[in-house]
C-alpha cells in the first residue's frame, strides 16, 4: 500500500609507493604519525604490549573530519559551510529566499501518487533507500536555525485531501553560516554539522563526549579508561531466539537526561527516555535505519572480539575496529550501492589532495533527496517458534499486522508505525528486518512521493478517528488528521532556503544543456492538456481528475491492473507531467524549482535517476572518494590489519548481515540491493 563502482589499477608510481607503505606498515603496524593524532595509550592505562605484539601507532581519522587533508585541514570538517557548485541565488542576492509557486500547491499536482504503487524498473530492493539514508547520516546534516518561514497551506485547493488546523506546514530556515549573508559578494551559506567523509560518523559521532557515552566504561571525561567495545543492551525476558545485542537506550546508564541528544518525534516524542542512542542524532527515525545502526554497532564489537588475545590496549583495539568499520561503509557504497543505483564513476587513480570533499549544498538539498523511493510498508518473515506469544501480541497492539501460518510468522509494518519506534527492532529481531529489506523492490525514484511522507510525516490519526487504518484511505474523514507535514513541499522550500538556483541554471552549473520545453524536461510527447476529455472541467490544473491513473505496465511492458500493489514500473496518467508543470509554472521554464525539475526527468538508461541527479551524484561521490586520505584503496593501515589479524573490510552487505545476525549467509543473495 503506497498510501500511507569498481576501481581501475593504480599507476605504477602510486602502486610502488603504496607497496612501500604497506611493507612498512606490516613490519611495524605503523603509518607515519601525524602531530597529536597518533593513537597512544591513555594515562594510567596498562601497557599490554610485548615483543611478539609491539604497541602499534597509526594516524587515525579525527572524529570531526578535520586534518584529513593535511594542506587544507578544514576541508570536509564538521561545523563548516557547505560548498557550492554554482553561485547562490537569493531574491536580494544576499539571503532572502526567492518567491515562487506555493510548494504545497506543486506537491498536490506533481508529487501526489493517489496511493498507487510504482516500483523500481531495475528491481532495486528496499536496501537502496535504506543504505542511501544511512549514508546521508554519515556525511550531511544542516545546522538548524530558529527563523520560522512556514509554508502556506490552502484548505480550499481543489486537489487538497488533508486538513491543517494551523493553516500552514511548519518550516524553519537552516542556520546561516557565521559571517555569511552580509552582501552579494558574501551570500548566506549553511553549515554541515557532520564531516564530509564516509567515515562511520553515524556510528561513533563527531565529539569525544558522545563517543565516550557510546563506549563501554565510565563517563568521566577520561577516554583512557573506556573499553574497546560499543555499549549495547539485550532484551529482558522473555527473550526470543532472534534476540542479541541492541543499541543502548537513553536510560542504559541510569540517567536519560545525561545521555546524548537524539531526535525524537512521533510516538517517541511522548517518551523520549526510551530513545536508542547512536553516533547520529537521527538513528530513531525509522525501523530500517535503526536496524542498520544496530548492525554496525554489532560489527564494531565483532571486530573487537576478533582482536582478543592480541595484547593490544583497549584504545588501539577500538581504533582498529573503527578504521575497519569506516572502510566497510566505503566498500559497500562504492561496490554495491552506487552500481545498484546506476552511478558509474571514473576509475580510481589514488588520493588527490587537491580535491575538496566538502559536501555541496546542491547535492545535499536537491540531488540526494530521493524520498520517492521510500516504501509505504515493510513485509517481513520469520519462524513463529522464535517468538513468545506475549511478544507477538505486543507487536499486534503496536499496529503491526501479525499472521501466523503453520511454522511461519509474517509481519507487515506500516511506515507510520515504523517511524520513531526503536522497540520494533528489539521485538522483531535484527535478522528478519535486514533480510526483509531485500525481499521486495523499493518505489521508483521519480516525482511521486508516498502520502506517509508527503502529507502525514511523523503524524498519526487523531483521537476522534473511528478507524485509524481507514484514515489513510480517506484522510479527509473528520478526526483523522489535523496537521500536514509534506516532505516534498519542504524539499522545494529547502532549495530556496539554501539559495539553490532554478532547474535550468542548475543543469548549466553541472555542465548540462538547459531544457527548452516542459516536455523536454519529462521526455513526454506533449505538454498540453487533452482536449475533449469530459472528465476535465474548468481550469484543468485545478481539476483532481488530471491525476487519474489510466494504465500501468511491468518491466517487460505488459499491462498491470490498476490499483495493483506490485509489478508496475511505469504509469500513464490522464495528463502528462509536462502539461502539469507547464500550467504550474505559467509556461516559464526559468521558474521551475530545481528539486521539481530534477525528479521529473526520465531516467538515464541503466540508472535510477535522470541526467541532473546523476551528474550531481557522480561529482559528489567522486569527490568523497578521491579527496579522502583514508579511502580504503589508499590506506596501508587497512592492509596491515588484514595481514596481521586477518580482519578485512572487504565484506558485502550480505556478508555483514550474516556475520552479525541469525540469518545464515546461504539465506541471502549475493547482492541484497536487488530484490527477488
Cβ neighbours for 10, distance < 8 A, ≥ 6 positions apart: 18, 348, 349, 350, 633
β-strand partners of 360? 83
Do 520 and 481 lie in one domain? The reply is yes
Helix (H) / strand (E) element for 520: namely helix 518-522
Q: Does 160 fall in a domain?
A: yes
**Is cis: bond before 69, omega within 30 of 0?**
no
Grid cell 490499483 is found at: 563
**In a shared domain, residues 422 and 446:** no
Nearest to 435 by CA among 648, 201, 299, 242: 242
Q: Are residues 92 and 112 in the same domain?
A: yes
C-alpha cell at 585: 509554472
pLDDT band at 1 (very low <50, low <70, confident <90, very high): very low
Question: What is the DSSP secondary-structure string of 159-208?
Answer: T--S--TTSEE--EEEPBPTT-SSBTTB---BEESS-SS-S-HHHH-SSH
Residue with cell 547520516: 137
| 195 and 212 assigned to the same domain | yes
More confident position, 523 or 161: 523
* Those residues with Cβ within 8 angstroms of residue 529's Cβ, 6 or more apart along the chain or in another chain: 536, 540, 546, 575, 579, 583
pLDDT at position 461 is 63
- Please indicate, yes or no, if residue 526 is contained in any of the structural domains: yes
505 membership: H or E segment, kind and range: helix 503-509
E strand or H helix at 572, and its extent? strand 570-573
Q: CA-to-CA distance for 118 and 571, rounded, in angstroms? A: 7
The fraction of the chain above a pLDDT of 90, given in percent, is: 79
| 33 has a pLDDT exceeding 60 | no
Q: Are residues 238 and 368 in the same domain?
A: no
What are the DSSP calls for 453-496, one per residue? HHTBTT----TT-S-GGGGGT-TTSTTS-S--B-HHHHHHHHHH
Residue 27 lies in a domain: no
Whole-number average pLDDT of the chain? 89
CB 489 within 8 A of CB 562: no
> Where would I find the beta strands (DSSP E) of 339-388?
377-383
3-class state of residue 560 by DSSP = strand
Is the predicted pLDDT of residue 80 greater than 60, yes or no?
A: yes
* Contact call for residues 296 and 333 (beta carbons, < 8 A): no
Round to whole Å and give the CA distance between 363 and 510. Answer: 11
111 lies in some domain: yes
Q: Which neighbouring-strand residues pair with 174?
A: 144
pLDDT beyond 60 at 320: yes
Q: Is residue 596 part of a domain?
A: yes
**What are the DSSP calls for 279-294, one per residue?**
SSTTTTSBHHHHHHHH
pLDDT digits (tens, 9 = 90+) for 293-310: 999 999 999 999 999 999
All 3 cell numbers of residue 318? 577500538
Confidence of residue 267 (pLDDT cuts 50, 70, 90): confident
The residue-averaged pLDDT of 107-116 equals 94
Q: How far is CA 428 from the centre of its chain?
A: 22
pLDDT of residue 473: 64
At residue 455, the pLDDT reads 82
Q: Which residue has the cell 574497546?
A: 228
Please provide residue 437's backbone torsions phi and psi, each rounded to the nearest 5 degrees: -65, -25
- What distance in Å separates the CA atoms of residue 47 and residue 54, rounded to the nearest whole number? 10
Q: Are residues 289 and 241 in the same domain?
A: yes
Looking at the structure, tell me whether residues 622 and 508 fall in a common domain: yes
Q: Are residues 397 and 447 in the same domain?
A: no
Q: For 16-25, 240-249, 450-459, 556-565, which range has the lowest pLDDT when averaged over its residues?
A: 16-25
What's the rounded Cα separation, in Å, for the pair 311 and 317? 9
Helix (H, G, I), strand (E, B) or coil at 596: helix
**What is the tally of structural domains in the chain?**
2
How far apart are the C-alpha atoms of 7 and 338, rounded to whole Å?
A: 13
Domain containing 245 equals 229-306+376-439+649-676
Whether 503 and 411 map to the same domain: the answer is: no
pLDDT at 467: 67
Taking residues 377-383, what's their average pLDDT?
A: 94
pTM for this model (two decimals): 0.90
The CATH number of residue 146's host domain is: 1.10.640.10
Give which of 153, 380, 222 is closest to 288, Cα–Cα: 380
- Beta-carbon contacts of 271 under 8 Å, excluding residues fewer than 6 positions away, are none
The answer as to whether 496 is a domain residue is yes
Note the pLDDT of residue 466: 58
Same domain, 299 and 159: no
Q: Is the pLDDT of residue 14 over 60?
A: no
Is the domain of 595 the same as that of 449? yes
Strand 408-414 relative to strand 401-405: parallel, antiparallel, unpaired? antiparallel
Checking if the pLDDT of 471 tops 70, the result is no
Q: Can you give the pLDDT at residue 453?
A: 86
What confidence score (pLDDT) does residue 435 get?
97
- Residue 132 exposed, middle or buried by CB count within 10 Å (0-12, 13-18, 19+): buried
Residue 171 lies in a domain: yes
Interval 543-564 mean pLDDT? 95
Looking at the structure, tell me whether residues 83 and 222 fall in a common domain: yes
Evaluate whether residue 343 is within a structural domain.
Answer: no
Distance of alpha carbon 639 from alpha carbon 260, whole angstroms? 34
Amino acid at each position: 500500500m503506497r498510501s500511507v563502482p569498481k576501481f581501475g589499477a593504480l599507476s605504477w608510481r602510486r602502486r610502488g609507493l603504496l607497496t612501500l607503505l604497506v611493507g612498512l606498515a606490516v613490519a611495524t603496524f605503523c603509518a607515519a604519525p601525524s602531530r597529536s593524532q597518533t593513537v597512544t595509550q591513555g594515562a594510567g592505562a596498562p601497557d599490554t604490549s610485548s615483543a611478539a605484539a609491539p604497541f602499534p601507532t597509526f594516524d587515525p581519522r579525527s572524529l570531526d573530519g578535520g586534518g584529513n587533508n593535511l594542506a587544507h585541514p578544514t576541508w570536509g570538517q564538521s561545523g563548516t559551510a557547505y560548498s557550492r557548485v554554482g553561485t547562490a541565488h537569493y531574491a536580494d542576492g544576499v539571503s532572502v529566499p526567492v518567491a515562487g509557486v506555493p510548494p504545497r500547491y506543486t506537491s498536490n499536482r506533481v508529487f501526489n501518487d493517489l496511493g498507487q504503487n510504482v516500483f523500481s524498473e531495475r528491481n532495486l530492493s528496499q536496501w537502496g533507500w535504506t543504505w542511501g539514508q544511512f549514508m546521508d547520516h554519515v556525511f550531511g546534516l544542516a545546522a538548524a536555525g530558529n527563523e520560522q518561514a512556514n509554508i502556506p497551506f490552502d484548505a480550499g485547493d481543489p486537489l487538497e485531501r488533508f486538513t491543517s488546523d494551523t493553516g500552514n506546514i511548519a518550516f524553519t530556515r537552516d542556520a546561516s553560516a557565521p559571517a555569511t549573508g552580509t552582501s552579494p559578494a558574501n551570500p548566506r551559506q549553511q553549515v554541515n554539522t557532520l564531516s564530509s567523509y564516509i567515515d562511520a560518523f553515524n556510528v561513533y559521532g563527531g565529539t569525544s563526549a558522545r563517543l565516550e557515552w557510546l563506549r563501554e566504561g565510565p563517563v568521566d571525561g577520561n577516554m583512557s579508561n573506556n573499553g574497546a567495545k560499543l555499549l549495547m543492551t539485550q532484551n529482558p525476558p522473555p527473550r526470543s531466539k532472534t534476540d542479541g545485542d541492541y543499541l543502548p537506550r537513553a536510560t542504559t546508564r541510569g540517567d536519560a537526561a545525561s545521555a546524548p541528544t537524539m531526535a525524537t518525534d512521533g510516538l517517541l516524542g511522548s517518551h523520549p527516555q526510551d530513545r536508542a542512542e547512536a553516533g547520529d542524532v537521527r538513528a530513531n527515525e525509522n525501523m530500517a535505519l535503526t536496524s542498520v545502526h544496530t548492525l554496525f554497532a554489532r560489527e564494531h564489537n565483532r571486530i573487537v572480539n576478533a582482536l582478543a588475545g592480541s595484547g593490544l590496549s583497549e584504545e588501539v583495539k577500538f581504533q582498529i575496529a573503527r578504521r575497519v568499520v569506516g572502510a566497510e561503509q566505503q566498500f559497500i557504497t562504492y561496490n554495491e550501492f552506487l552500481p545498484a543505483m546506476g552511478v558509474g564513476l571514473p576509475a580510481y587513480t589514488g588520493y588527490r589532495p587537491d580535491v575538496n570533499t566538502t559536501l555541496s549544498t546542491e547535492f545535499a538539498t536537491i540531488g540526494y533527496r530521493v524520498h520517492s523511493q521510500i516504501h509505504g510498508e515493510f513485509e517481513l518473515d520469520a519462524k513463529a517458534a522464535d517468538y513468545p506469544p506475549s511478544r507477538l501480541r505486543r507487536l499486534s497492539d503496536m499496529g503491526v499486522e501479525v499472521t501466523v501460518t503453520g511454522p511461519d510468522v509474517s509481519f507487515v509494518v506500516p511506515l507510520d508505525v515504523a517511524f520513531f519506534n526503536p522497540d520494533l527492532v528489539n521485538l522483531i529481531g535484527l535478522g528478519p528486518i535486514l533480510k526483509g529489506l531485500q525481499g521486495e523492490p523499493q518505489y521508483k525514484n521519480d516525482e511521486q512521493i508516498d502520502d506517509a511522507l508527503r502529507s502525514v510525516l511523523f503524524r498519526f490519526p487523531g483521537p476522534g478517528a473511528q478507524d485509524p487504518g481507514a484514515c489513510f484511505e480517506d484522510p479527509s474523514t473528520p478526526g483523522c488528521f489535523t496537521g500536514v507535514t509534506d516532505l516534498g513541499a519542504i524539499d522545494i522550500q529547502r532549495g530556496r532556503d539554501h539559495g539553490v538556483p532554478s532547474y535550468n541554471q542548475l543543469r548549466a552549473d553541472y555542465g548540462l544543456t538547459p531544457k527548452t520545453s516542459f516536455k523536454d524536461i519529462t521526455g513526454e510527447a506533449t505538454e498540453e492538456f487533452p482536449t475533449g476529455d469530459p472528465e476535465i472541467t474548468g481550469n484543468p490544473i485545478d481539476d483532481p481528475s488530471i491525476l487519474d491513473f489510466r494504465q500501468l505496465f511491468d518491466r517487460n511492458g505488459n499491462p498491470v491492473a490498476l490499483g495493483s500493489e506490485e509489478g508496475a514500473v511505469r504509469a500513464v496518467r490522464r495528463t502528462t507531467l509536462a502539461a502539469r508543470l507547464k500550467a504550474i509554472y505559467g509556461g516559464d521554464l526559468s521558474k521551475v524549482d530545481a528539486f521539481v525539475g530534477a525528479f521529473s526527468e526520465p531516467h538515464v538508461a541503466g540508472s535510477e535517476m535522470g541526467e541532473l541527479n546523476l551528474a550531481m551524484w557522480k561529482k559528489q561521490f567522486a569527490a568523497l572518494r578521491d579527496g579522502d586520505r583514508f579511502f580504503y584503496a589508499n590506506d596501508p593501515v587497512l592492509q596491515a590489519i588484514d595481514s596481521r589479524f586477518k580482519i578485512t573490510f572487504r565484506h558485502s552487505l550480505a556478508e555483514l548481515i550474516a556475520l552479525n545476525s541469525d540469518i545464515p549467509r546461504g539465506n541471502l543473495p549475493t547482492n541484497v540491493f536487488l530484490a527477488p
